């Protein structure tokens, strides 16, 4: 009878130890799962932020290109030069060269 109690006690001890180890294992697995889920979620948020930043920068680049194209037109350049810098439009000069008739006949 004492031997049966010892065997039963030992069996109960093993079952309790196995239950505790499996419970601890499940808890550790859940903690690891939650940690991995959190890391993935943070990575997705960072990717979304980067995508929105790329979109904003692309829009700014397009606006700047449009502004450069608008400002590089000749009429805009001439207006800004006269209004802001006080420059005047250069008019072509006419030069008159008189060639003697003797030189014309020699050609």
Q: Output phi, psi for 71, to 5 deg.
A: -80, -15
How high is the mean pLDDT of the chain?
90
Torsion sign, CA atoms 54, 56, 60, 63: positive
The stretch 34-63 carries a mean pLDDT of: 98
The encoded tokens of residue 76 equal 């805009």
Q: What is the mean pLDDT of residues 96-101?
A: 84
Q: Is the pLDDT of residue 6 over 90?
A: no
Mean pLDDT of 42-62: 98
Determine if residue 87 is left, alpha or beta; phi over 0 gives left, psi from -120 to 50 gives alpha, anything else beta: beta
Q: Which DSSP category does 90 fall into?
A: P
Looking at residue 21, what DSSP letter applies?
Answer: H
Among 23-27, 48-52, 76-80, 87-91, the minimum mean pLDDT is found in 87-91
pLDDT tens per residue, range 18-40: 999 999 999 999 999 999 999 99
Domain ranges for the chain: 2-106
Structure tokens at 21: 């180890």
């Amino acid at each position: 009878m004492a031997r049966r109690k010892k065997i039963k006690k030992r069996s109960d001890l093993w079952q309790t130890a196995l239950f505790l180890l499996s419970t601890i294992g499940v808890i550790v697995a859940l903690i690891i799962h939650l940690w991995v889920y959190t890391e993935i979620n943070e990575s997705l948020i960072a990717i979304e932020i980067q995508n929105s930043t790329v979109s904003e920068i692309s829009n700014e680049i397009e606006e700047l290109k449009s502004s450069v194209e608008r400002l590089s037109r000749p009429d805009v350049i001439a207006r800004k030069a006269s209004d802001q810098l006080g420059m005047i439009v250069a008019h072509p000069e006419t030069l008159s060269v008189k060639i003697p008739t003797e030189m014309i006949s020699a050609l």
